[in-house]
């Protein structure tokens, strides 16, 4: 088995109200919500945070920064005590490298389109 398959999964618990990452930061990991809930917020030009989504168990967030190496598009904050599984950049990129080239290209197009739509809001 490769080292990627034998790696211990990293978990992190965030308390209610704790910021997981901030809009504009460089991202080096994504998070899979195992238990709890996370608010995704975007700071508008007026400086106020707008709630975009609340995500729960089974949801992945923060993944776009792993795909295109751009700053975080939004802030993630634990709505309640939340347990996450961390997906690191190296681990993620190793899996993507093994994917079909067509799938990799689609993934990059999806992310570019989402970022472009977000800029227009």
> For position 1, what pLDDT does the model report?
43
Burial (Cβ within 10 Å: 0-12, 13-18, ≥19) of residue 66: buried
User: What CATH fold (topology level) applies to the domain 3-120?
Assistant: Jelly Rolls (2.60.120)
Q: Is 25 helix (H, G, I), strand (E, B) or coil?
A: coil
pTM (two decimals):
0.79
Rounded to an integer, what distance in angstroms lies between the CA atom of residue 25 and that of residue 75? Answer: 9
Rounded to an integer, what distance in angstroms lies between the CA atom of residue 28 and that of residue 36? Answer: 22
Domain segments of the chain as ranges: 3-120
Mean pLDDT by 10 residues, the chain (121 residues): 56 98 94 97 92 95 86 96 94 84 84 77 60
> For position 2, what pLDDT does the model report?
47
> For position 8, what pLDDT does the model report?
57
Residue carrying the six token digits 């975009």: 52
């Amino acid at each position: 088995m490769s080292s990627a398959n034998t790696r211990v999964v990293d978990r992190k618990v965030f308390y209610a109200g704790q910021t997981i990452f901030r809009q504009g930061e460089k991202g080096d990991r994504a998070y899979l919500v195992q238990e709890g809930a996370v608010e995704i917020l975007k700071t508008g030009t007026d400086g106020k945070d707008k709630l975009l989504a609340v995500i729960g168990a089974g949801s992945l967030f923060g993944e776009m920064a792993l795909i295109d190496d751009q700053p975080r598009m939004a802030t993630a904050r634990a709505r309640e005590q939340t347990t996450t599984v961390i997906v690191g950049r190296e681990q993620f990129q190793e899996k993507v490298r093994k994917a079909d080239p067509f799938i990799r290209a689609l993934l990059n197009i999806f992310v570019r389109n989402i970022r472009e739509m977000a800029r227009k809001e």
